[in-house]
């Protein structure tokens, strides 16, 4: 994000960017523009610095491959030249594992269902139902445990914190009407990875020194990644 780019967008878009950064400047006028641009730019720089610090060595080296200019792009034709669908008119939920604690889900509702739900939103609560299905053949009602995440009709994706590592989960997109739950779509099964060693040893005399020799003490790990993964976006995208 550069100053030139910020100067080229509308005041509304600028306000929108500030909002995404967590600041409300609704009602800004052209007179505020310069200050607002400065403010948004400063925030982006801060965010960039933070992101930079997050990057490990492999990522930094890889990043250098794409560093040929300080400006973002020299090319005039933007992404607008390529309109793509926002939704696909189908009722479906997909679950993707991200790390030992977080998974990402995206979903879609077909147009009929969407219309119906929009009509009676007061009585219905859309939910994501997360089932722990470790070591079971899931039938829809036999999960080891489950929890619900209420969502709004306009939501399309969510990051979900999962309590157990090395564990299988299935997600359902469902609707609760007067305490009755109905499943609208069921996801694929995912399995969260480990964030540590297995207790299964190949032999009784396992030499634990290899854990250290293999550099386990320098493993960055995900211990500190409780922060919500839905970070502020660098560019308005759709």
Pick out residues in 168-207 that bind another protein (CB under 8 A).
Answer: 188, 190-191, 193-203, 206-207
Minimal distance in Å, beta carbon 166 to another protein?
Answer: 9
For another protein, give the closer residue by CB, 123 or 207.
207
Minimal distance in Å, beta carbon 76 to another protein?
Answer: 9
Which residue has 């997050």 as its token pair? 54
Minimal distance in Å, beta carbon 119 to another protein?
Answer: 25
157 contacts another protein (rule: CB under 8 A): yes
Minimal distance in Å, beta carbon 75 to another protein?
Answer: 7
For another protein, give the closer residue by CB, 123 or 220.
220
Minimal distance in Å, beta carbon 236 to another protein?
Answer: 10
Site string for another protein, 87-116 (x = CB under 8 A): -x-----xxxxxxx-x-x-x-x--------
DSSP of 138-191 = --SS--SEEEEEEE-TT--EEEEE-S-SS-EEEEEEEEEETTEEEEEEEEEEEE
Which residue has 């293999």 as its token pair? 214
Count of residues in contact with another protein, rule CB under 8 A: 84
For another protein, give the closer residue by CB, 37 or 187.
187
Radius of gyration of the chain (CA): 23
Please say whether the beta carbons of 182 and 146 come within 8 A.
no
Which residue has 């409780």 as its token pair? 226
**Among residues 3, 51, 116, 226, the one that binds another protein under rule CB under 8 A:** 51
For residue 25, the SS3 value is coil
For another protein, give the closer residue by CB, 161 or 201.
201
213 contacts another protein (rule: CB under 8 A): yes
Contacting residues for 210 by C-beta, under 8 A, at least 6 apart: none
Quick one: angle between helices 33-54 and 11-20, nearest 10? 40
Minimal distance in Å, beta carbon 57 to another protein?
Answer: 4
215 contacts another protein (rule: CB under 8 A): yes
For another protein, give the closer residue by CB, 23 or 216.
216
**Cα angle: 178, vertex 179, 185; to 5 degrees:** 100
> How far is residue 90's CA from residue 173's CA, in Å, rounded to a whole number?
13
């Amino acid at each position: 994000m550069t100053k030139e780019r910020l100067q080229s967008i509308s005041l509304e878009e600028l306000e929108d960017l500030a909002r995404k950064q967590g600041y409300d400047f609704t009602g800004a006028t052209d007179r505020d523009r310069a200050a607002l641009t400065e403010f948004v730019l400063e925030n982006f720089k801060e965010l960039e610095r933070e992101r930079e610090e997050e990057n490990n060595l492999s990522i930094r080296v890889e990043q250098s491959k794409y560093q040929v200019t300080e400006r973002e792009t020299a090319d005039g034709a933007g992404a607008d030249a390529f309109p793509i669908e926002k939704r696909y008119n189908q009722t479906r939920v997909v679950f993707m594992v991200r790390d030992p604690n977080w998974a990402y889900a995206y979903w879609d509702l077909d147009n009929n269902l969407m219309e119906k739900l929009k009509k009676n939103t007061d009585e219905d609560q859309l939910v994501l139902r997360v089932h722990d299905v470790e070591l079971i053949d899931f039938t829809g009602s036999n999960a080891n445990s489950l929890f619900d995440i209420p969502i709004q009709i306009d939501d399309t994706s969510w990051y979900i914190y999962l309590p157990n590592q090395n564990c299988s989960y299935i997600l359902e997109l469902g609707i609760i009407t007067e305490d009755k739950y109905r499943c609208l779509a069921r996801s694929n099964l995912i399995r969260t990875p480990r964030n540590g060693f297995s207790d299964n040893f190949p032999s009784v005399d396992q030499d634990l020194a290899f854990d250290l020799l293999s550099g386990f003490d320098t493993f960055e790990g995900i211990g500190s990644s409780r922060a919500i993964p839905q970070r502020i976006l660098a560019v308005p995208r759709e």
